Chain A
Amino acid sequence: MNAAAHAVTIVMIEDDEGHARLIEKNLQRAGVYNEVRHFTDGTSALEYLIGKNRPEHRPTLVLLDLNLPDMSGFDILVKLKADPQLRPAPVIVLTTTDDEREVRRCYELGCNVYITKPVNYDTFAQAVRQLGLFLAVIQVPPPP
C-alpha cells in the first residue's frame, strides 16, 4: 500500500445500506483501510464532493452505484467529470446493471472501471477484494 493510496478518501455513493456494509467489510478484508465516506443519495454526495463547503483538496476515489433514489448515477458521473478538480479522480461504477449499453455509456462518460455486483457472494467478495488490490496499485493523482 503506497502512501498516495493511503491518503485517498473513498467516497461511496450507494443507496443500499447492506451493499455498502458488504463492500466495506470486503474492502477491509482485502486490506484497504482508507477512510470511506458513505452517502446514500446523490444530492448529499454531490454536496460533499462539489458543494460550497467541499473539503480541502485531497485525493479522492469515487465508488458509484447507478441506481440511486434521487438521481441517476450517470448524472453524478457527468457532474464529476465536468468538475476541473475532480476530473482526475478515478470513478468506479459498482452496480447491479450489466446491460452492455449502460456499460458503454459509463465508459464514454469517463468512468474508470465498471463492476457488476454479482449476486453470488463469493464472486462479489472477490470482486471487491480485487478492487482493493486495484486501489493499492493505482496512483490516484492529487487534485490540482
Chain B
Amino acid sequence: MPIDKALFSRLTLLLIGIGFAALLAAGAGLVWQVETTRNYASAVSSAQEVRVTTLRALSLLQDAEIGQRGFLLTGEESYLAPYHAAVEALPQAMARLAKLVLEDGGRPGPIAELRELATAKLAELARTIALQRAGERDQALAITRSADGRSSMDTLREMVAGVEARSAMRLAARSAGLEANGRALLIGAALAFVLMLAVTVGSAILAVRYTRELEQAQAEVTAANAGLEARVAERTAALAAVNEEVQRFAYIVSHDLRAPLVNVMGFTAELEAAVAPLSALLAAAEAEAPGLVTAEARAAVAEDLPEAIGFIRSSTERMDRLINAILRLSREGRRALRPEPVALDRLFEGIAASLRHQLDAAGASLEIAPGLPTIRSDRLALEQLFGNLIDNAVKYLDPARPGRITILARRLAGRVRIEVADNGRGIDPRDHARVFELFRRSGRQDQPGEGIGLAHVRALARRLGGEVTLESAPGAGSRFQVILPLEPPPMPTPSPEESPR
C-alpha cells in the first residue's frame, strides 16, 4: 500500500499518541507506587508508634501497680513515687494511643475499653492506697489479693497485646498490598515498554517506508525533469533545423528565381535594341513607300513595343528588388551572431550621425535619453534593427508639425525595453500586425520602399532573443518598443559548412 502524506501524518501521530499514552501510564503507575510506598513507610512508623505507645501505657500501669504494692508492703510514702508519676502520665499516653490507633486505621472500640479498664485499675489502686493510709492495711491487701485486681491487670495486658496485634496485622496487609502494587507496576511497566518498543519500531518502519517512497517519487520527478529537458533540447534543435531549412529554402528559391529573371531582363534589352533598326526601317519605308506602312505597324513600333518593354522592365526590376530583399533577410538570418558589449547610447549616436542628412532635410530632431544601458548583443544586428526603425520614423513624419523622434530605455528584469517614438503620421491599428509582414506597407504610398524594413526589424529582434511591439494611432505618432535580453540567449548557430546546394 503506498503511503501518502496525509496517511503518513495520521499514522505517525497515532503511533506517537500510543507511545505517549504508554509513557504517561507508566509515569502515573510510578507516581502511584511512590505514593503507596510512602504511605506504607508512614504506616510502618505509625504501627511502631502504636506499639511503643501501647507498651508505654502498659508500663505506666505496671509502674502504678509497683508503686502501690511497695507502699502496701512498707507503708512508706516514698514507694509511691512511680505510682504518682504513672498516674500523672497515663491520661496523656492513653489519649495519644487512641489518636494513633485511629490514625492507623484501627477501631475506636477496643481503645475505649482499654481506657475504661485502665481508669478502673487506677481507681482500684487509689482505693487501696487510701485504705493503707487510713490504717486499714488488711482491707487494702484483701482488695489487691482478690482476683479482680489481677484479672484486671491481665485483661489490660491482653488488650494491649490485641491492639498491638491488630496494628501488626494492618501493617502486614499493607505490606502485601505494596508488594502486589509493585508487581502490578512491574508488569504494567513491562507492557508499556513493549508497547513503546512496538510503537518505536512501527514508526521507524513507517518512516523508512515513507522515506523510501519519497525517494522513489523524487527519483521519478528527477527522471521526468531530465526527460523534459531532453525534450526541450530536442524541440529547440528541431526548431533550429526548421528555421535553417526555411532560410535555405528562401535562399535557394530566390537564387532560382533570379536565373529566369536574368533572361527576361536580358532578352528585353535585346528586344529594345531590336526596336532601333525596326524604327529606322519604318522611317525609311515611310520615306520611300508610304503605302507599305500601316497605322498598326507604326503604332506597334513607335508605341506598343516601347510600352511593353517599359512594363516588363519595371516589373522585373521590382521583382529583382523583392528577391534581393528575401535574399538579404535570408542571409541575415544565416549570419552567425557575435555577441559583444554594446553601449546603446553610443550605438544610437552612431545611427543618428548616419541619418543626420535625412533628419536635417526633414527638419526633425532626434533625442536620445541619457543613461541608456550597455547590453551584450550583436552590434550589426542592433544597428540594422534601430537604423530601420529610426529611418522609418524619419520617412513617415507628419508634415503638419516639426518632427520629433525620441529614444528611451528602461531596464526590466534581465531585459531592457528600448522605445523609439515619433510624432509622425502614425499607423492605422488595423495595420499594426500587417506592417511587420514582408512586402506589406500601410498608409499613403508616397515614400520609396518595398515593405521590408519592419519585417527585417522583427526578424532581427526575434533572432536576438527579443520582440518588437507597436503602439500607434493615425495622426498621433508611433511608438515601437523593442525588448531585448541583457545577455544573449544560447542559440544554435548554423554550421559554417552549410551552403545552398
Binding site for B on A (CB under 8 A): 16, 18-19, 22, 25, 66-67, 72, 96-97, 99, 101-102, 105, 117-122, 124-125
Contacts and interface: CB of A to CB of B under 8 A. Distances in A.
A116 B271 CA distance: 23
B355 interface: no
Interface stretch (B233-241, B262-270, B276-284, B484-492): B262-270
20 contacts: A16-B259, A16-B260, A18-B263, A19-B262, A22-B263, A67-B259, A72-B501, A96-B255, A96-B258, A96-B259, A97-B500, A99-B500, A105-B499, A117-B258, A119-B258, A119-B320, A120-B265, A121-B265, A121-B268, A124-B262
A67 B255 contact: yes
Interface string B259-301: 1111101111110000000000000000000000000000000
A72 B499 CA distance: 12
B449 interface: no
Given A99-B331, A101-B496, A119-B320, A67 B262 contact: no
Contacts of A101: 496, 499
Which 5 A-B pairs give the minimum distances between C-beta atoms? Answer: A18-B263, A121-B269, A22-B266, A119-B320, A121-B265
B384 interface: no
B263 A16 contact: yes
A99 B259 contact: no
Interface in B466-501: 496, 499-501
Contact of B265 (A25, A66, A67, A119): A119
A97 B251 CA distance: 9
B316 interface: yes
A125 B251 CA distance: 25
What size tier do the contact residues of chain B reach?
A: 20 to 34
B267 A22 contact: yes
Contacts of A66: 501
Contacts of B255: 67, 96-97
A18 B496 contact: no
Nearest to B261: A119
B496 A22 contact: no
Contacts of B270: 22, 25
B265 A19 contact: no
Contacts of B268: 121
B146 to A, nearest CB: 154
A18 B499 contact: no
A18 B500 contact: no
A131 to B, nearest CB: 15
Interface in B107-161: none
Contact of A99 (B258, B316, B499): B499
A25 B265 CA distance: 14
A99 B261 CA distance: 18
A19 B263 CA distance: 6
Contacts of B267: 18, 22
A67 B254 CA distance: 13
Given A97-B255, A99-B331, A101-B496, A18 B262 contact: yes
- For A18, A118, A121, the residue with the greatest tally of chain B CB atoms inside 10 Å of its CB is A121
B263 A67 contact: no
